[in-house]
Structure 1
Amino acid sequence: METSSNTDDSSVTDFSDVGGSPNTPNTSLRPLPSIGEQSFCEGRHYHRYRPGRYLLPNDQVEQDREEVKHFMLLELTNGAHFLAPIDAAHLHKVLDLGTGTGTWAIEVADRYPAATITGIDLSLIQPDWSPPNVKFFVDDIEDEWVSGNNFDLIHARHVFPLIKEPATLTRRAFEHLAPGGWLELQDLSHLVCCDDETMTLDYPIAQLFDRITEAWGTFGADLRVGPKLEDMLRTAGFVNVETRAYKIPIGSWPHDTKGRELGLSFRVVIQMALSALCGAIATVEGWSEEDRNVLTARCDEALEDNSVHAYMHCYFVVGQKPVA
């Protein structure tokens, strides 16, 4: 198994103005039933709009997992929702690609009441009520965008590894930004690393992510696109491009409090996804139910083993559209 000895900053500088504001009145979101329909498989339900674009469920279990991931990244960034150096006075229009549960968009809307936040996703799983300055739409971000132009910030989290043409999406984001606007991508590497000798080649969690990367690759996605994002932004014309790679432990093995909290959160994130991830692998590789159950059990056991000092990188990549 490949290991990494990269070292990262122990803390994150919050480049954003994260001054809070009181909660604002909410407005109703009225979903369209035709694109809100679900399909079911093994007790889990999936979106039916553009089926196959996203291979994980969108049910309550998956939504709860997304909330844990949201908490985990806020813990990682010391509460910053984005790292792009945007002054609050210049933040007017924000687009959140693959908004999921909409929590990021809603919290940013609360913090920046003068800004308009637009969240788009394949699934209608956002709350029925939201602040008046946030709107949600069902759309496929790999199609031509109809959500507007001249955005000051376009944000995408856990999105680029799941799409087929990330370079095209990067260029599209460039076109829809206002001059001087920023694109920020936040993505896990999906490569399990270790800086000491505690992780063996047959570590189940590493094997899990190797196999899910291969399985997703059959659909044209690259789960390990994170290290390539900086070059994509530069090629698309972005300037002031910067990448920060932060380590997220897997499990509670770190000695420091923040590391343990991050590791516990990430362990929960993986545990909640195990069934669906192993199911995706089994479907692609033609596994029997026994094969699937064996991998699930091995991963469950490995996640409780704090003798293995495994971690995964999370990449934060920002780039600015030139002013002129």
Structure 2
Amino acid sequence: MEANNVDSVIGSRADGLIEVDSGGDEDSGFGDEISRFTASIRSSVLEYPIENGRRYHAFRSGVYCLPNDELEQDRLDLTHVLMTTAIGGKLFLAPVDAGRIGRVLDIGAGTGIWSMAMGEEFPNLEVIGNDLSAIQPQWVPSNVRFIVDDIESPWPPQPSFDFIFCRYMAACIENWPQLVERVYENLNPTGWAEFQDFDLVFHSQDGSSSLPPSTCSNIIFWSSQMFEAVRLTSREPHPGPHLEQWVRAAGFTNVHCQRFSLPIGSWAKEKRLKEVGLLNLAQILDGLEAFSLRCFCQVLGWEREEVLELLEKVRAEMMNRRVHLQLEFYVVYGQKDCM
């Protein structure tokens, strides 16, 4: 979140005195002027650019590699179901007494689905969702509100939080250690923070890994190119395995780390994992264009048609029932020391 840092001499004279616009005295109040100004600001935030047939956020354009259009919003909501199902149907795992705390921050709120679920389940909470895109619904629980801002900018002075939640920010954050430190600094003593994220490397733990390399060659090539593009933008595509280290380094105590293996497809025997696998496959297939277009076209210099041709081959390999791919999902939470 970013404070409005404005140089104190901008628009002023050499002696430091601010010159008055003599043409602005005709009205007795600022009401209409404020309305016009804030309307122009809101419109600039909502002037979403279109690239390769997909819509992207306008604020700090280029910071986030994924689109924010309706197709991507549907995928994000599906991924919310995937992640909550994977961890046992829960919104979080930290031992937070949500009935006794006050302020909660949701970093990278996306469509706002987690924030709204928290607000509905715990009406005593004040839930604040932060995101680069103003795509959240207008009608939300009365204890939930959203702000458009860059979480990697300096955080302005504000009341501290009792619980800070950060989920699915893979390929989004430039300086993870700094972000985790700011989370720690903005917690109340004994407050909790929870980070949930992926290791996006596709792998297999059974005999399907012995299939001829050509069976998954397009998946391997596509993912390696995508990860290269993300790293060229100075982002980390696989934050999950590093979360515990970052959380401990920031000073958190009572740190816990859990890893969840998420199948891709319905190949798992256990009923819950079969459901997780189908959700995972669906969100990946729905998201292939979203993951790829900006990374391949804007960063690597591919043509859109080349990307779409590759993605068709990736889809075909993803649908191969003989290939038992999976991803790892990490949940790490820790508490701020009361000292």
Larger mean CA deviation between 40-49 and 207-216 belongs to 207-216
Alignment-derived partner of residue 152 in structure 2: 142
8 A Cα contact 1:278 1:295, kept in partner: no
* Aligned ranges 1:94-173 → 2 under 5 Å: 94-146=104-156, 148-159=158-169, 161-173=171-183
Measure the CA separation in 2 of the matches of 1:114 and 1:193.
42
Secondary structure at the residue paired with 1:246? Answer: strand
Task: State whether structure 2 residue 283 is matched by structure 1 residue 273.
Answer: no
Percent identity at matched positions? Answer: 35
8 A Cα contact 2:56 2:69, kept in partner: yes
**Please, which of 197, 209, 230 is the counterpart of residue 187 of structure 1?**
197
8 A Cα contact 2:87 2:260, kept in partner: no
Cα shift readout 1:209-267 (whole Å, capped 9, x = no counterpart) = 32211111111001112111111111111111111110111111112221111111111
Extract structure 1 runs of 4+ deviating beyond 4 A: none
Alignment-derived partner of residue 14 in structure 2: none
Alignment-derived partner of residue 307 in structure 1: 322
Shift of the 216–321 alpha-carbon distance from structure 1 to 2, 3 Å rule, reads same
Alignment-derived partner of residue 254 in structure 1: 268
Secondary structure at the residue paired with 1:141? Answer: coil
Measure the CA separation in 2 of the matches of 1:246 and 1:230.
14
Alignment-derived partner of residue 240 in structure 1: 254
Cα shift readout 1:74-111 (whole Å, capped 9, x = no counterpart) = 21122210000011333211000010000100000111
Secondary structure at the residue paired with 1:243? Answer: strand
Secondary structure at the residue paired with 2:99? Answer: helix
Measure the CA separation in 2 of the matches of 1:233 and 1:41.
36
Instruction: State the Cα distance separating 1:148 from its structure 2 match.
Output: 3.0
Cα shift readout 1:110-139 (whole Å, capped 9, x = no counterpart) = 111111000010000000111110110001
Measure the CA separation in 1 of the matches of 2:50 and 2:72.
14
Larger mean CA deviation between 59-68 and 153-162 belongs to 153-162
Instruction: Give me the TM-score of the superposition, normalised by structure 1.
Output: 0.87
Amino acid aligned to 1:129:
W
Secondary structure at the residue paired with 1:94? Answer: strand
Task: State whether structure 2 residue 46 is matched by structure 1 residue 32.
Answer: no
Alignment-derived partner of residue 11 in structure 1: none
8 A Cα contact 1:90 1:152, kept in partner: no
Task: State whether structure 2 residue 330 is matched by structure 1 residue 320.
Answer: no
Task: State whether structure 2 residue 187 is matched by structure 1 residue 177.
Answer: yes
Amino acid aligned to 1:263:
G
8 A Cα contact 2:129 2:144, kept in partner: yes
User: What is the alpha-carbon root mean square deviation over aligned residues?
Assistant: 1.7
Measure the CA separation in 1 of the matches of 2:61 and 2:109.
17
Measure the CA separation in 2 of the matches of 1:87 and 1:290.
51
**Please, which of 267, 270, 293 is the counterpart of residue 308 of structure 2?**
293
Amino acid aligned to 1:137:
I
Measure the CA separation in 1 of the matches of 2:153 and 2:129.
15
Alignment-derived partner of residue 8 in structure 1: none
8 A Cα contact 1:159 1:187, kept in partner: yes
Alignment-derived partner of residue 90 in structure 1: 100
Secondary structure at the residue paired with 1:62? Answer: helix
Alignment-derived partner of residue 213 in structure 1: 227
Instruction: Give me the TM-score of the superposition, normalised by structure 2.
Output: 0.83
Alignment-derived partner of residue 28 in structure 2: none
Alignment-derived partner of residue 208 in structure 2: 198
Amino acid aligned to 1:94:
V
Measure the CA separation in 1 of the matches of 2:305 and 2:52.
15
Measure the CA separation in 1 of the matches of 2:162 and 2:307.
45
Secondary structure at the residue paired with 1:129? Answer: coil
Secondary structure at the residue paired with 1:191? Answer: strand
